Amino acid sequence: MKRTIIIDPGHGGKDPGAVAPNGVPEKQFTLAGALLLSTNLIWRGYYTVLTRKGDTYVSLKERVKIAEENRGDLFISLHCNSYDDEEANGFEVCIYSRESPAYFLAHQIKSRLMLNTPLKPRGIIERPDLYILRKTSMPAVLVELGFLSNYRDLEILSYPEAFSRIIAQIADSIIYFGATRWSTT
């Protein structure tokens, strides 16, 4: 059975998200990452649905509706962090709760990014307040790819080979999650 992965590039349109010191908005990083992730997963036999395919605004409610209407097996949202302290750096993986089936996927993402990319791990964070994690019926994770306010993270995210490697590690995590969780169904 071909599984459906819902890929949610954060922000878009009138909502730029965080803006890097060089003026590049988060919405560009998240869309580029979502398109790479989608291509990677399609090549590996998955069906993907993006909540946006261009620079358009999609409400949180609409993102969840897209996921539910397409009967996603997994929901992954891509974002970037920013903070007033330019020393803040690294990636985070957010989930609804540690009891969620998404915790296993979050652990895989954290482990693979920690071992195979130069990004610093900040951990798996419970975020029951996040609408998309709270309202989706399928396992859902939100990945903060790095801090746009941190020069090193921004450099890593801006370098095509490094960015592609980060996204590939997320795809590998999804493949492993699927192989261990969906192998009998």
Residue tagged active-site, from 126, 144, 155, 161:
144
According to DSSP, residue 153 is labeled H
Decide: 41 and 171 in contact? Cβ < 8 Å: yes
Q: Is 155 a catalytic residue?
A: no
CA 14/CA 152 separation, integer angstroms: 27
| Residue 164: other Cβ atoms inside 10 A | 14
Kindly give, in sequence order, each residue whose CB lies less than 8 Å from that of residue 62, ignoring residues fewer than 6 positions away.
51
Burial class of 69 by CB neighbour count within 10 A (0 to 12, 13 to 18, 19+):
exposed
Please identify every residue annotated as catalytic: 144
